[in-house]
């Protein structure tokens, strides 16, 4: 297996010593030249301007699991059981969808805007015992606020990413664990031809959040192995990029003017004092320069957004 130099032109380093409890969902905003991400446990949406080093945060009063960019400049945000549209300039928020059918110990987790202009978001169970039961789902939140349950029988839905042409969707389950590939229709959001391409173990790195590069390869955060793993579309492990100082990487994203800067979030949640003494910067934001550009992530088509949508419909 090929390591660092085949995929990274620079060594990973700390970009911001923010020490998130549970950093997740980095996304590059090419209009503002900002990086957005969330600290789920602290209930914050963070931003960073890499050029100036300026940074800030918005309090959500909830547990944001993931975010995406909107056509309007707003953010689409998955909170515990609701999906909202948030305006970072004014602080205004509108509820787009309410997933009231989620269990008491269940919350929304990894999410990303798909090529179809919809927000795709999965759920997880928060207790270790219930997390072992395949009882969560992946949902599609359409621009009109309608909710469709797309995949059932999940433990921890994670790792959404689309190939550059929008016709391949990758998805993972962190606790199963596995990586799946789907044929995807970027116009309608229809998906079929599910294929189980890999079942990584703890040593390789259980799959967490992910991104796709311009060649259609899948960059998965190996949360149990302090690395990013790069897979081809058929599930061959092409190599990895170790992230020293980040024992639990949660998600990469590509960004910067040329989409070759990689930003990696991590967590320090429930780490022992001994582990934190060894990895004092756990949960911080890391970066490196990749040898290839990333696939651009779509924006949520919120011009058609409505509020107060009903619960999920099954496909």
SS3 string, the chain, reads: CECHHHCECCCCEEEECCCCCEEEEEEEECCCCEEEEEECCCCEEEEECCCCCCEEEEECCCCCCEEEEECCCCEEEECCCEEEEECCCCCCEEEEEECCCCCCCEEEEEEEECCCCCEEEEEEECCHHHHCCCCEEEEEECCCCCEEEEEEEECEEEEEEECCCCCEEEEEECCCCEEEEEEECCCCCCEEEEEEEECCCCCCCCEEEEEEECCCCEEEEECCCCEEEEECCCCCEEEEEECCCCCCEEEEEEECCCCCEEEEEEECCCCCHHHHHHCCCCCCEEEEEECCCECCCCCECHHHCCCCECCCEEC
Phi, psi of 288 (to 5 degrees): -160, 165
* pLDDT exceeds 70 at position 218: yes
Determine how many CB atoms are found less than 10 A away from the CB of residue 100.
Answer: 10
Active site residue 208: yes
Q: What mean pLDDT is reported for the chain?
A: 94
Q: Of 36, 19, 20, which Cα lies nearest the Cα of 255?
A: 36
| pLDDT single digits (tens) 6-22 | 899 999 999 999 999 99
| pLDDT for position 65 | 98
Question: pLDDT over 70 for what percent of the chain?
Answer: 94
Residue 315 pLDDT exceeds 50: no
Task: Say how many CA atoms lie within 13 Å of 244 toward its Cβ.
Answer: 5
pLDDT at 1: 53
What φ, ψ does residue 128 adopt, rounded to 5°? -60, -40
The candidate with the shortest Cα–Cα distance to 158, out of 200, 115, 100, is 200
Residue 310 has a pLDDT of 45
The two tokens of residue 205 are 């790195």
Locus of tokens 């939140």: 141
Mean pLDDT of 270-295: 96
Catalytic: which of 98, 116, 180, 208? Answer: 208
User: Averaged over 151-165, what is the pLDDT?
Assistant: 97
pLDDT of the residue at 304? 62
CA distance 189 to 216: 18
Q: What is the pLDDT of residue 305?
A: 65
d(CA 64, CA 231): 28
Torsion, Cα of 112, 113, 114, 117 (10° steps): 160
């Amino acid at each position: 297996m090929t390591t660092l130099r085949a995929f990274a032109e620079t060594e990973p380093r700390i970009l911001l010593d923010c020490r998130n409890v549970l950093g997740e969902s980095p996304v590059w905003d090419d209009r503002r030249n900002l990086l957005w991400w969330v600290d789920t446990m602290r209930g914050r949406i963070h931003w960073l301007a890499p050029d100036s080093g300026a940074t800030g945060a918005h309090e959500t009063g909830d547990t944001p699991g993931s975010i995406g960019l909107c056509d309007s400049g707003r953010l689409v945000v998955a909170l515990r059981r609701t999906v909202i549209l948030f305006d970072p300039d004014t602080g205004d928020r509108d509820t787009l969808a309410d997933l009231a059918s989620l269990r008491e110990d269940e919350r929304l987790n990894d999410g990303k805007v798909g090529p179809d202009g919809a927000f795709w978001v999965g759920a997880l169970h928060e207790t270790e015992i219930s997390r072992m039961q395949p009882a969560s789902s992946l949902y599609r939140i359409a621009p009109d606020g309608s909710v469709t349950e797309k995949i059932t029988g999940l433990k921890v839905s994670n790792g959404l990413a689309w190939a550059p042409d929008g016709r391949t969707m990758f998805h993972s389950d962190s606790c199963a664990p596995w990586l799946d590939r789907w044929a995807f229709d970027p116009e309608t959001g229809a998906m079929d031809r599910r294929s189980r391409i890999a079942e990584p173990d703890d040593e390789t790195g259980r799959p967490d959040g992910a991104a796709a590069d311009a060649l259609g390869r899948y960059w998965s955060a190996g949360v149990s192995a302090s690395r990013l793993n790069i897979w081809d579309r058929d599930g061959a492990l092409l190599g990895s990029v170790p992230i020293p100082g980040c024992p639990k990487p949660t998600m990469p994203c590509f960004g910067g003017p040329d989409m070759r800067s990689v930003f990696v979030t991590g967590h320090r949640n429930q780490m022992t004092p001994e582990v934190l003494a060894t990895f004092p910067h756990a949960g911080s934001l890391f970066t490196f320069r990749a040898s290839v550009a990333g696939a651009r992530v779509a924006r949520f088509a919120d011009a058609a957004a409505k509020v107060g949508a009903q619960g999920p419909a099954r496909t």
